[in-house]
Structures are given as C-alpha cells and as structure tokens.
C-alpha cells in the first residue's frame, strides 16, 4: 500500500527554471494538498483541491500553479523558480470524515540557486 | 497573519514524565483539530484529532484537550518516551466550504531525555 507518492525526492534548479512536482495517492481520497515546510514557519498551505476538477489557493500560492489531473494525481508547478522557493514540499491527501486525517508523502527537497 | 499558533518552539521533558504541547488559534470558525508528529526527513504522521463538539479525546498515551472559548488546545503525552522526540504540529480546519482548507501551526520540537 503506497499511500501518497511524491516525485522527485530531490531537485536542484537555477533561478528562472521551471519544474513540476508530481503527487499521486492510492487511497481514493477526494481532497489533496501541497504544503511547504521552512524552518520556524511550520507547514504552510500552498494550494489544495477538494475534489477532482477543483483547486483553491492556500496561504502562500504566489509563484505556484497546480493541476488536479484526476482523482489520484495533484501536481505543483513552479514556472520561474526563485531562491525563496527553496524548501521541502509535501503532498497530502485527506480521508473523508468529520476529523479526517491527512496522509503525507515523504517530501520533495527543492533547492533553487 | 498566523491563524494557528504554537508559541513554544521547543520543549524538553524527562522520560516517563508528562509532555504538554500547546496550540492557540484565532479563527473561531475552526471546527476540527489535528495533531501531527514529524521526524527529520520524513512526512508528518497523524496522531490524534478532535472536533469542536468534544472537549477531550484520548488514544493510548495521547490526549487532546480543547477549550473552544479560549481558542486553545493541548496535547498531553503520558508517559513520555525517547521515541516521542520529534516536531509536533497542530492543525485546524473549518466546516462546510472551509472543511478542506487545513492550516498548520509552526510546530514545537519535543526532546524526551532518557
């Protein structure tokens, strides 16, 4: 049971380059999320998708775009990477239910030079 | 403006004693609260949750208390074990159209000293 799978796990970019982080879940969850983790800032919500075909901005959406390709997959794109986007990125999906918990991937460490 | 706050960046506790991690929130529309634990180089893992209709929820060594009037919740770990050393995140979401927007706090790093 894979749960939430993120690729790539590590990436180094130069300023201005673009890239896409891929995320897939096999738990049939409706909701999916992208967070970034920075020291002292915790996990900050970038974008989320409550269901296939919908996406919404989170706390820090600037500089990012997302695509909910289907129920399983939710990708995060950096069109023109900046050093401020150096971070660890986590994808998650949420179990349906009152206090449905989020299940996280292992993270993708991105460095922008 | 941070909606979920964890004002203690770190906490040290002796093995076997109680660990109390605190969380405050500013959005009175939050109805669901979750605690997560994170080890270095791993994704966060779910610990325990509580909805606003309750004031306490227990799961083994972990208990979460919610004081809705004070917009405060706490996670109690009893007894604390060295394997509990990790960063703990508090998270919150609303209901209805706000249910899916899950906001996390900055985290508290817990060290359990053997």
**CATH number, domain containing residue B83:** 2.60.40.10
Residue of A nearest to B44 (CA): A104
Evaluate whether A23 touches A6 at the Cβ level (below 8 Å): yes
Q: What is the pLDDT at residue A97?
A: 79
Between strands A19-25 and B108-113, the pairing is: unpaired
The total of structural domains in chain B comes to 1
Query: In whole angstroms, how large is the CA radius of gyration of chain A?
Result: 13
In this complex, the residue of A48, A90, A105 whose CB is nearest that of residue B101 is A48
Q: What is the pLDDT at residue B90?
A: 97
Q: Rounded CA gap, A32 and B8, in Å? A: 29
Q: What is the pLDDT at residue B1?
A: 73
| Chain A CB contacts of B34 below 8 Å | 99, 101-102
In this model, does residue A16 exceed pLDDT 90?
A: yes
In this model, does residue A1 exceed pLDDT 90?
A: no
In this model, does residue A24 exceed pLDDT 80?
A: yes
Residue pLDDT, tens place only, A27-68: 999 999 999 999 888 999 999 999 998 999 999 999 999 999
Residue pLDDT, tens place only, A65-93: 999 989 999 999 999 999 999 999 999 99
What residues of chain B score a pLDDT lower than 50? none
Evaluate whether A46 touches A64 at the Cβ level (below 8 Å): yes
Per-state percent for chain B, helix, strand, coil, to nearest 5: 5, 55, 40
Mutate to test the interface with B, among A5, A42, A93 (most CBs of B within 10 A): A42
State which residues form the domain around B65. Answer: 4-113
| Chain B CB contacts of A106 below 8 Å | 42-43
In this complex, the residue of A33, A58, A98 whose CB is nearest that of residue B51 is A98
Whether the CB of A42 is below 8 Å from some CB of chain B: the reply is yes
Mutate to test the interface with B, among A66, A96, A102 (most CBs of B within 10 A): A102
Q: What is the pLDDT at residue A2?
A: 78
Whether the CB of A93 is below 8 Å from some CB of chain B: the reply is no
User: For A103, how many CA atoms within 13 A lie in the half-sphere containing its CB?
Assistant: 19
């Amino acid at each position: 049971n894979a749960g939430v799978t993120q690729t790539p796990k590590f990436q180094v970019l130069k300023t201005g380059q673009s890239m896409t982080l891929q995320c897939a879940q096999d738990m049939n969850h409706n909701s999916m999320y992208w967070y970034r983790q920075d020291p002292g800032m915790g996990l900050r919500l970038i974008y989320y998708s409550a269901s296939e075909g919908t996406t919404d901005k989170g706390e820090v959406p600037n500089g990012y775009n997302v695509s909910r390709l289907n129920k399983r997959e939710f990708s995060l794109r950096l069109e023109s990477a900046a050093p401020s986007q150096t971070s660890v990125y986590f994808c998650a999906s949420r179990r349906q239910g009152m206090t449905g918990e989020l299940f996280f991937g292992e993270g993708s460490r991105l460095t922008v030079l | 403006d941070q909606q979920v706050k964890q004002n203690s960046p770190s906490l040290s506790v002796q093995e076997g004693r109680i660990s109390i991690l605190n969380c405050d929130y500013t959005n009175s529309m939050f109805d669901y609260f979750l605690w997560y634990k994170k080890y270095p180089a791993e994704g966060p893992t779910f610990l325990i949750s509580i909805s606003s209709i309750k004031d306490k929820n227990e799961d083994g060594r972990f208990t979460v208390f919610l004081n809705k009037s004070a917009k405060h919740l706490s996670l109690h770990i009893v007894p604390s074990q060295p394997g509990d050393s990790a960063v703990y995140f508090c998270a919150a979401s609303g209901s209805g159209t706000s249910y899916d927007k899950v906001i996390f706090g900055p985290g508290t790093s817990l060290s359990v000293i053997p």
